[in-house]
A and B are shown apart, each in its own frame.
Chain A
Amino acid sequence: MSVKITHWPGTSLSSADFAEGRVLTVRGGVKAEYAWDAGVAIGRYLEELKRGRLVARRCDGCRRVLVPPRMFCEECFRPTDAWVRLADTGTVQTFSISYVRWDMVRLTEPEIPAVIAIDGASPGYGILHLLGEVDPKEVRVGMRVKAVWKDPAERRGAITDIRYWAPIREGG
């Protein structure tokens, strides 16, 4: 409604009209399931996660170290050259304090997703993961963090083989 229009002609619909079948809709969904082939680069990356290690690929064209690894350099457009082992430590590039889960369920304890530049990789190359063992009020860009891994028996070759990343305390 507006200043000029105070009344629409006709009968308005309520949610009950739909629920009680007075307005007809057809409901349905799709069973869409996939098994995405990880391929050479990400296949090895996942395998190394299972072993509790992070690996990258190096491009000898631009001398960058790329993580997550890829078999081609998107800058030089050439195959990457070698595998590089990385530390499981890094620096928070950006973060968010999420009070709402992916399916819009509200959380009492927020999650803290962050992009972490990994030590040994080129600037700006890192992974998106979760921070843990940290008060949301303490999180800062530039914070140093280290991976907290699942027990070897629990690892599946997945990004979730790392539980979360915890702050590296000075001297501790």
Chain B
Amino acid sequence: MPERVAIVGVGFSDLRSCTPGVSYKEMMFEAATRAYHDAGVDPRKDVHSFVCVSEDFWEGTSIFDEYVPDQLGAALRPVQTITGDGIQALCCAAMLIRTGTARVVVVEGHSKYSDMRTPHHIQQFAMDPILNRPLGAHANLVAGLEMSRYLYESGNTREQCAMVVAKNRHQALLNPLAAYGARITPDDVLAAPPTFFPLGELDAARPADGCFVMVLAAESAVRDMAGQPVWIAGYGWCTDAPSLESREWGEAAYARLAAEQAYRMAGIASPLRDLDFAELDDAFSYKELQHMEALRLCRPGEAGEWVEDGVTRLDGEFPVNPSGGSLGVGHLLEATGLHRVYETVLQLRGEAGPRQVPGARRGLAQSWRHVPTTTGAVIILERE
């Protein structure tokens, strides 16, 4: 029987729309120092392996993974970078521990989005070069196409999507990390200029810079740690077919299958009954609703009513994105999922301050790798 795995330390660097004062290395050092202090570990002695997430095009350096060891205390140690969201890195780290390869593993993810001068070109470079790119479409068009079909199939409305934006931006005001907390109304969202209709300017999460580092440990190593352990109960990840011509536009099948894998592992039969809150991907307003339905938190087509009735507000029956989500916190490239896990850990430790979900015992964090991908990951965390 593989050992249980816990997150024993978490660290962040401040999330901001730009961070001209620090290099990505200094940002990583800041987050790592906090995480190691939180866990009570010395990375030069106590950590056996390091897993990072990054994409060369976001960084502007080929083979970027070679540039990470120094600022993590990982020089001359097993280090690897995987392509994927931060939650996929956590899955990788958990597997290293469960297979007995390492007992203490560090995970890192960051965004230095503001270093990119041509982010839209780079994002478009992710589209198929032969079939899609010659049409000249911006990558966020994919979200517009998906939103149209999702609203058509689910019966949810643009107004309800606008309520998601208002809720998350508002909730972010309680989160000192968040870059985009604001008091805005659904009408403000609907009145914003359209971008890729039905998407409007305020329906899309804005980018931010920042870094998260986490320390994971095997159960047998946890007793030597200072940090309060939060246990990993289950995880899963999934990628759908990439084709824009024939993908599943209405339903987030990748999220449904990733969640099913995680629910099975965690022994969860009824997500709504067995979870106390969720941090769900909301890179675009409709994604939060689509992901609620994919994760069986509500029935298909019901998510819109839930947001309308305030069920998913911080003071509602099932809070979604108490952190403020990507809409309120900022989109953090591959570190996005780690931000959601960071919030989940704080909630389960009872350290979320004014945005604490009372009595939270088990929470879920879910990520999506943004347009044009169909990749998502889910992790379920619980306290003892």
Chain A, 37-60, CB within 8 A of any chain B CB = 37-42
Q: Whole-angstrom distance between the alpha carbons of A99 and B71 in the complex? A: 35
Pick the contact of A33 from B20, B70, B117 — CB < 8 Å?
B117
A75 to B117, alpha carbons, bound, how many Å? 34
Contacts known (A72-B71, A74-B69, A74-B71); A36 close to B23, Cβ less than 8 A: yes
A47 to chain B, nearest CB (A): 14
Taking A32-B60, A35-B117, A77-B73 as contacts, is the C-beta distance between A70 and B25 under 8 angstroms? Answer: yes
CB pair B129 A26 closer than 8 Å: yes
Q: Nearest-CB distance from A73 to chain B (Å)?
A: 9
Asked if residues A39 and B26 are in contact (CB atoms below 8 Å), the reply is: yes
Cα-based distance from A33 to B22 in the complex (angstroms): 19
Distance of A2 Cα from B57 Cα, bound (Å): 42
Name which of B118-126, B315-323, B349-357 contacts chain A: B118-126
In the complex, are the beta carbons of A34 and B117 less than 8 A apart? yes
Tell me which residues across on chain A come within 8 A of B23, comparing CB atoms.
36-42
Complex: how many Å from CA A77 to CA B44? 7
Q: Is the CB of A30 within 8 A of B26?
A: no
Contact with A along B204-227 (1 / 0, CB 8 A): 000000000000000000000000
Highest count of chain B CB atoms <10 Å: which of A28, A33, A42: A33
For B36-49 the 0/1 string (1 means CB < 8 A from A) is 10000011100000
Verify if B75 is at the interface (C-beta below 8 Å from A).
yes
B122 touches A75 (CB 8 A): no
Alpha-carbon separation in the docked complex, A33 to B115 (Å): 9
Nearest chain B residue, comparing its CB with the CB of A33: B117
Please report the C-alpha to C-alpha distance between residue A40 and residue B22 in the assembled complex, in whole angstroms. 6
Q: Is there a chain B Cβ closer than 8 Å to A71's Cβ?
A: yes
B20 touches A70 (CB 8 A): no
Q: Which one of A26, A40, A77 contacts B134 once the chains associate, using CB atoms below 8 Å?
A: A26
Task: Decide: A74 and B134 in contact? CB cutoff 8 A.
Answer: no
**Residue with the greatest number of chain A CB neighbours at <10 A, chosen from B20, B23, B42, B133:** B23
Cβ-based interface call for B12 (8 A):
no
The number of residues on chain B lying at the interface, defined by a beta carbon within 8 Å of a beta carbon of chain A, is: 33
Chain A interface, >50% SS class? loop
A87 within 8 A of B: no
Digitize B116-150: 1 where CB-to-A-CB distance is under 8 Å, 0 elsewhere.
11100110010001100110000000000000000
A74 and B114 contact, Cβ closer than 8 Å, known pairs A37-B20, A37-B23: no
Residue A22, interface by CB 8 Å: no
B80 surroundings in chain A (CB, below 8 A) = none
Number of residues on chain A facing chain B (CB within 8 A) = 23
**Least CB distance, B61 to chain A, in whole angstroms:** 9
* Closest chain B residue to A32, Cβ basis: B122
Contacts of B70 in A (CB 8 A): 70, 72, 74
Q: How far is the CA of A38 from the CA of B21 in the complex (A)?
A: 8
Q: How distant is A35 from chain B, measured CB to nearest CB, in Å? A: 6
CB distance from B203 to the nearest CB of A (A): 26
Evaluate whether A34 and B19 lie within 8 angstroms (CB atoms) in the complex, with A26-B130, A77-B43 already known.
no
- Which chain B residues (63-86) contact chain A, with CB distance < 8 Å? 69-71, 73, 75
Contact partners of A40 in chain B: CB under 8 A: 21-23, 26
Answer whether A39 and B25 are a contact pair too, CB < 8 Å, given A30-B121, A72-B70, A74-B73: yes
Inter-chain CA distance A109–B208, complex, in Å, is: 47
Does B167 interact with chain A (Cβ within 8 Å)?
no
Residue of A37, A38, A39 most packed against chain B (CB within 10 A) = A37
Do residues B43 and A37 form an inter-chain contact, with CB atoms below 8 A? no
A79 to chain B, nearest CB (A): 8
A68-B200 Cα distance, complex, nearest whole Å: 46
Interface string of A105-125 (1 = CB under 8 A from B): 000000000000000000000
Distance A37 CA – B115 CA, assembled complex (angstroms): 7
- The distance in angstroms between the C-alpha atoms of A74 and B26, with both chains bound, is 12
A37 and B19 within 8 A (CB): yes
Q: Does B112 contact A (CB under 8 A)?
A: yes
Judged by a CB distance under 8 angstroms, whether A7 is at the interface is no
A window 7-41: CB within 8 A of B: 26, 28, 30-41
Residue of B nearest to A29 (CB): B125
Contact of A37 among B21, B69, B73 (CB under 8 A): B21
Residues of A near B26 (CB, < 8 A) are 39-41, 71-72
> Can you identify 24 A-B contacts, CB atoms within 8 angstroms?
A26-B130, A28-B129, A28-B133, A28-B134, A30-B125, A31-B118, A32-B57, A32-B60, A32-B125, A33-B116, A34-B116, A36-B23, A37-B115, A39-B21, A39-B23, A40-B22, A40-B23, A41-B23, A70-B70, A72-B71, A74-B70, A74-B73, A77-B42, A77-B43
Give 5 nearest A-B pairs by CB, closest first: A39-B23, A77-B73, A34-B60, A74-B70, A33-B117
16 more contacts with CB within 8 A, not counting A31-B118, A34-B60, are A28-B134, A30-B121, A31-B121, A33-B116, A34-B116, A35-B115, A36-B60, A36-B112, A37-B19, A37-B22, A39-B25, A39-B26, A40-B21, A71-B26, A72-B70, A74-B69
- Chain B residues within CB distance 8 Å of chain A: 19-26, 29, 36, 42-44, 57, 60, 69-71, 73, 75, 112, 114-118, 121-122, 125, 129-130, 133-134
